[in-house]
Amino acid sequence: DAGVTQSPTHLIKTRGQQVTLRCSPKSGHDTVSWYQQALGQGPQFIFQYYEEEERQRGNFPDRFSGHQFPNYSSELNVNALLLGDSALYLCASSAWGDEQFFGPGTRLTVL
Amino acid sequence: GIQVEQSPPDLILQEGANSTLRCNFSDSVNNLQWFHQNPWGQLINLFYIPSGTKQNGRLSATTVATERYSLLYISSSQTTDSGVYFCAVKRWIQGAQKLVFGQGTRLTINP
């Protein structure tokens, strides 16, 4: 049983560019949550998707957007990248309301 | 919003020692998870524990929800236990769940 997978593993972008990160949940999971982890900090909640809808959003600007597909996989899009967007982006999947399991993350560097 | 505080922030021990990590939270929660983050950034699930005590090998966790704290015990530490340990509390808000993380405890086990 494959766990949560994310792609790409690493990404380097320049300020002002746009990026798309992808996440495939564990088999049997229907909920995907995205988190941003800055260096030396705990992960911060970005948003959660269930039934292809954004269910809740953390304190992140509209430059951060997402999507969930019918197969429960998800994308995180970040527009107009800033230096401060450099972080590890983590995807977590769960059955609705249950324990969350995390993928290996995508490390984004903005130059 | 809810505050999650972990202590100590750093802990350095010799192999074979025991340790106790603490997580305090400022409001009632629906559940609590403990994670170990390895050097590559992967968050590994340790415990999903809203209350009571659970054990898994050398690790155990206790959550006292009425007093708003949780403890993670590691016995007979091994060098592979090194890394950052996070607790995260789950809150149901506006029909969705999110995890709120503490800042982590960095554990270093020396041979």
Which residues from chain A sit within 8 angstroms of residue B102, using beta carbons? Answer: 42
- Nearest 5°: the CA angle A85, A91, A95 is 150
Q: Per the structure block, which two tokens stand in for A10?
A: 């690493």
User: What is the tens place of the pLDDT at every residue in B88-111?
Assistant: 999 887 777 899 999 999 999 999
Q: Are the Cβ atoms of A99 and B48 closer than 8 angstroms?
A: yes
Question: In this structure, how many other beta carbons lie within 10 angstroms of the beta carbon of residue A54?
Answer: 14
The upper half-sphere exposure of residue A6, i.e. CA atoms within 13 Å in the direction of its Cβ, equals 27
* Residue B35 distance to chain A (closest CA, Å): 10
A110 backbone dihedrals φ, ψ, rounded to 5° = -110, 120
Q: Are the Cβ atoms of B41 and A88 closer than 8 angstroms?
A: yes
User: What is the tens place of the pLDDT at every residue in B40-91?
Assistant: 899 999 999 999 999 999 999 999 999 999 999 999 999 999 999 999 999 8
- Nearest 5°: the CA angle A59, B103, A94 is 65
User: What is the tens place of the pLDDT at every residue in A20-69?
Assistant: 999 999 999 999 999 999 999 999 999 999 999 999 899 999 999 999 99
Which residues from chain A sit within 8 angstroms of residue B48, using beta carbons? Answer: 99
Chain B, window 46-85: residues with a beta carbon less than 8 angstroms from a chain A beta carbon: 48
DSSP state string for A90-107? EEEEESTTS--EE---EE
